[in-house]
Chains A and B, each alone.
Chain A
Amino acid sequence: MKITQEIKDKTITISLNGELDASSSVLLDEELSKPEIMLFNKVLVDCEHLNYISSAGLGVFISHLQRFEDAQIKLIFFNMQEKVKNVFEILGLDLLMTIVSTYDEAMTVSNE
């Protein structure tokens, strides 16, 4: 699992590369728990190279969802592979989180 960041104005884009399983989700949790993340308006998650997400990985997003909402930070997923999206859908997270297809779309959504 490789996690990279890109910051543009008040938007941070986190790119996930590989499989988000029990061990790598700890790394993601560390990234999302950093206090400086609260300085942004939007947190974009690029899922283009995310091949697999385990329940532990989902748990990390779920645990930060409420926190981001309270701080009025938008959490947006984009470029999600079909099988990963399916996992989100089965769990019902697609209705709870914003999942869009492209980066541009993600930028517009968050600007609303």
Chain B
Amino acid sequence: MCRYILNIPYNNLIVAKKNSRLFMPDQIKLKKYFIFIAVLSWGLLVGSTIFYSATHGKATPQTQLADFLSYALKAIFVFSVFMVQRIRVQNYKGLDLLGYLWKLFFRAGITAYICAVMYLGYNWLKPDHPEPNNYLLHILYAVNFAFFVYFIGKAFHIWRVLILHQKTKALMLEWKIFEWALFGTLILSLFQFSFLDFIFIPLQPLLAIYAVFLSFHLKWVAYITGGKKWRVILLLLAILASMGIFIQVFISLNNQLTVYNDFLDNPFIRLTTLFVLVYPAFSFLVALFSLPTASVFEQKRSDLLNFQRLTQLIQKGEDKPQVFKTFFESAVNASGSDAAWLELLDEEGAEVIEFINIQEEQLQKIRSEVQNAVGHNFDYVNNNLDNSQLRRLNLPYKSIYVTPLRAAQRTFGILYLLKEVEQGFDRETINVIRTFVSQTNLTIENLRLAEEALQTERYKEELKIASTVQESLIPKTFPSDSWFEISCFSQAAKEVGGDFYDFLQLSEGRIAIIIGDVSGKGISAAFHMAQMKGIFHGLMQDDLEPVKFMVKANNALTHCLERTSFITSSLYIIDYKLKGIFFARAGHCHTLYYNSMTEETFYFNTEGLGLGIIRDQNYSKRIHNMHYDYNPGDVMVIYTDGIVEARNKNQEEYGEERLREMLTQTYHLEADDIKYAIVNDVNEFSQDMPIHDDQTLIVIKFRNVQPNFSA
């Protein structure tokens, strides 16, 4: 079950991957266009700047147009760089949060240092040329600008990822409003109308406040764990330093150059810069000040992970030692214990299976003290061992927590945790340990159930084999002759049953038929049934008369039947030459008979004790030889009590009378059809009730036309 649930996100992942692959060519194409536009617009921007700076000071009619062109190129450049970064950052796959910061620093932050090196290089070469080289400065300025836009573009989108970490619908909306407002300012800045100032002057501070507000979404910092936190802090510092260098270079360049067109004089760039600067600054502060509390969260996280691991152990099909190991490690980890051990209890005593920092000698002393105090069915907490009996042991430990592992109302293990400080086990810690304990109990119980299920499966398999073996013991081919027909039905209530029947051809025209029912059901009954079959074939080789057979069989069974078991059986010898049936009934159901001469249906109500009830020579007094002369057309019905004791919903039994009635109505049919009629009637009577005893039915019909057997 769980396996399927786990699979769902995995499948989704594949689907998502496929989708992104589908869109990939479009995105790559789009990115190429934007890169082309960015490079082109930047080239034109640089060209026009240099051109107009050469003619700087001369008021030409084209100035306004030139201004607009320059603004437009700048806007196009900024927009395309942002779009490229948007696509790039979206395609960063499989990165953790730290990875994003690395990307930002190594891809974009580095450019700040390149700019700084270029600027310093220019100043270093300057003494040779006392006149400031306006062209070179302009190019330097434009390169610095390009790198800066690249940097804020990437930073903007990476901050976007971080802000939207664990996003909500509301947060998505807040961010979208921010993006649209920013791009709105980019478009508005194209139009150099004076009235725009009235919009920008109140709008910019508002947007700035909004940017600061968004910068408070710092959830991602909480997900940075352990040593990574320091790396994040250092990276954030490096990124902030990059920003500082960029700004420093811009200020220095501005001092040396009367720039014709201040590239940074743009509300979009100003706002983005503010945002790009404020967000890492906040992140840095939050990361720094969360350092002292980080360990608490990390402990909780590791508790949760350990808990998950324990739960998953069952699904992975792990064995008990693995479960105990995981439990022990989790518990020691969660409590921060200085010493601990885990022992399993069985009839012979305790066996330590996991331990840490504890000597055998100490362990035994502590165990006996604790067991004397509380026994092994209860929790035991002592946070001040100096005030307890355990002080005598002179231990370095000041706190102890002992908790039993219980399943099926039995303690099967005990966990001991020790700490060197006082008050080491507060309520919080104990609750966590208890959660681990109950999960472990559940896991162990589940493992046991899984094992049991496997065992049951194995038994079922073996029962199936037994069933097949028994099936082979029941005769498949019936003796057929021209003077009688025979039809058999047999159905076991369980996989194996205690009913049996068999035939043996004694000589020509002389056949022995046996039917029997072993008391009880299931495997033991099946064994006795097999025994009885062996006794039948063994003894009847000597063509015994029925009573002699029963007495000998009773003797034989004395030694192999348990005291509470017995067998009921009837043996019939049908002799064609004598036209007679010789039989003995050992406690078995009465034989039903139809006499075609008198047209009567009746039971042979004879006496006879079951086998295995009296286990001495007295048995021969309790069994009698019977004889009956048959006529052509007579029908004999032999059955076990499963037939007459079949029940319906009202707990009524089918009974001998219904059976007799059925034969009265069907005696004229062939043996097969009589059998089917009776079986159907029994089934109809009991309807959907499960059969609770094995059912066997044999119908023998003496043919109307008897062949002439000459002796």
Residues of A bordering B, CB below 8 Å: 22, 29, 51, 55-56, 58-60, 62-63, 65, 83, 90-93, 95-96
Given contacts A91-B568, A95-B609, contact A63 B563 (CB under 8 A): yes
Q: Is the CB of A92 within 8 A of B610?
A: yes
Contact residues in A for B589 (Cβ distance below 8 Å):
90
Q: Is the Cβ of A55 less than 8 Å from the Cβ of B520?
A: yes
A56 to B622 alpha-carbon distance, docked (Å):
22
B521 within 8 A of A: yes
Is B608's beta carbon under 8 Å from chain A?
yes
Q: Mark out the residues of chain B between 147 and 178 whose CB falls within 8 Å of any chain A CB in the assembled complex.
A: none
> Would you give the shortest CB distance from B176 to chain A, in whole angstroms?
72
How distant is the Cα of A7 from the Cα of B520 in the complex, in angstroms?
32
Query: How far is A29 from B564 in the complex, measured between Cα atoms in Å?
Result: 10
The answer to whether B519 touches A55, judged by C-beta atoms less than 8 angstroms apart, is: yes
CB pairs A–B below 8 angstroms (22 shown): A55-B520, A58-B519, A58-B566, A59-B564, A59-B565, A59-B566, A62-B566, A63-B564, A90-B587, A90-B590, A91-B587, A91-B610, A92-B586, A92-B609, A92-B610, A92-B622, A93-B587, A93-B609, A93-B610, A93-B613, A95-B609, A96-B614
The docked-state distance in angstroms from the alpha carbon of A55 to that of B519 is 5
| Interface contact B564-A60, CB-CB below 8 Å | yes
Bound-state CA distance A56–B651 (Å) is 19
Assess the A22–B521 pair: CB atoms within 8 A.
yes
* A58 CA / B521 CA spacing, docked (Å): 14
Who on chain B is nearest to A83 by CB? B653
Q: Are B613 and A62 in contact (CB under 8 A)?
A: yes
Partner of A55, one of B566, B590, B651, B653: B566
Q: How far is the CA of A59 from the CA of B613 in the complex (A)?
A: 8
The answer to whether A91 and B609 have CB atoms under 8 Å apart is: yes
Say whether A92 contacts B608, CB under 8 Å: yes
Binding site for A on B (CB under 8 A): 517, 519-521, 563-566, 568, 586-590, 607-610, 613-614, 622, 641, 651, 653
Q: Chain B residues near A59 (CB, 8 Å)?
A: 519-520, 564-566
A87 to chain B, nearest CB (A): 8
Q: How far is the CA of A93 from the CA of B587 in the complex (A)?
A: 8
Chain B residues near A95 (CB-CB < 8 A): 607, 609, 622
Which residues does chain B contribute within 8 Å of A56, judged by CB atoms? Answer: 519-520, 564
Q: Which of B520, B565, B589, B613 has the most CB of A within 10 A?
A: B613
Taking A62-B563, A90-B568 as given, write out 6 further A-B residue pairs in contact, using a Cβ cutoff of 8 Å, ordered by the A residue number.
A55-B566, A58-B519, A59-B520, A90-B587, A91-B610, A92-B609
Query: In whole angstroms, how far apart are the Cα atoms of A26 and B520 in the complex?
Result: 13
B622 contact set on A, CB distance < 8 A = 92, 95-96
CB distance from A2 to the nearest CB of B (A): 17
Closest to B563 in A: A63
Inter-chain CA distance A59–B524, complex, in Å, is: 14
Whether A92 touches B653, Cβ cut-off 8 Å, given contacts A58-B566, A59-B566, is no
Q: Inside 8 A of A22's CB, which chain B residues have their CB?
A: 520-521
Bound complex: CA of A55 vs CA of B607, how far in Å? 18
Q: Which residues of chain B have C-beta atoms less than 8 A from A96's C-beta?
A: 609, 613-614, 622
B564 touches A62 (CB 8 A): yes
